[in-house]
Structures are given as structure tokens and as C-alpha cells.
Structure 1
């Protein structure tokens, strides 16, 4: 497996490497504020809240509702659906590990 080049002369496109070191984007750059909605899985106390946004037909954005200008994670819709299904069926732990 090749290591991604950090040289400005070798872009991922020209070197064939996959770009796994992306610069985080503020959630409002990923989707407009009106697109974000609080997840039904949030605990309602304001301490463990996430918001999601439907992006393209194949993507979902996720952000921390306490940091609306903070970074957003973007997942393929199929991966997000599998994650939610696993949590709701008890296949994944729901306890927070700190």
C-alpha cells in the first residue's frame, strides 16, 4: 500500500493515492443551516445531540448540535443507514466511552 504524498507537487489525482487527509469543513459549508435537523436519537437534554442533513441522494451530513459552525462528518447514505440500523437493533453498543 502506498503512503499518500504530502508534497504539493503530487496531488492525489496525479499520484494515484487516495486523499484520506481532508481539511474539515464547517457544517454550514456542507449544507445550509435550514437543512440540518436534530436526530430522533438525541437524548433531549442538550448534552448528546447530533443533527443530520440530507445532502446528495447518496450522502448524509452529521454534526454536533452544540457546535453549529464546527465540522460536519459526511457519510454515504448506505453506511449511515447501516449504522442506524445496527444501533436501533442493539447490534452496536450505545454507551459512550470517554
Structure 2
């Protein structure tokens, strides 16, 4: 199984800001805290990931 490739949220500010990172694979979304890279990862299936992102976008 291939490791997910994470990208930092565009809202992190670019100044080493702490934020969430997300990886979108073929069948799942993985979300982690950029301050704790080796820590826990929240994994959502495709429909859950799409719903999560839609909810986050409503609150920005």
C-alpha cells in the first residue's frame, strides 16, 4: 500500500503556520495535524471526505 501524499491547507499562511494537512487518495481522504505529523490520522471514505470538505468550506 502506498503512503498518502499530504498537502498543507492553503489557510496555513505559508509562514510555517500550523494547520491541517490532507491527502486525497483513490478511495479515501486522510487528514492530520501539521504540528504532529507522526501522530494520528483521520481517514474518511470518499463520501465522508467530500462531506467533510463541503462542511469546512461553509465555515471559512
Matches within 5 A, 1:24-35: 31=3, 35=5
Answer with 1 or 2: which has the greater Rg: 1
Indicate the residue corresponding to 2:54 in structure 1: 85
Higher RCO, Cα 8 Å, sep 6+: 2
Q: How many pairs are equivalent?
A: 57
Gaps of at least 5 residues in structure 1 are 1-29
Q: C-alpha separation between the residues in 2 aligned to 1:66 and 1:43? A: 11
The alpha-carbon deviation at position 85 of structure 1 amounts to 1.2
The yes-or-no answer on 1:39 pairing with 2:9 is: yes
Q: C-alpha separation between the residues in 1 aligned to 2:37 and 2:58? A: 29
The alpha-carbon deviation at position 39 of structure 1 amounts to 1.8
* Secondary structure of 2:54's aligned partner: helix
The yes-or-no answer on 1:64 pairing with 2:33 is: yes
Q: C-alpha separation between the residues in 1 aligned to 2:24 and 2:53? A: 15
Gaps of at least 5 residues in structure 2 are none
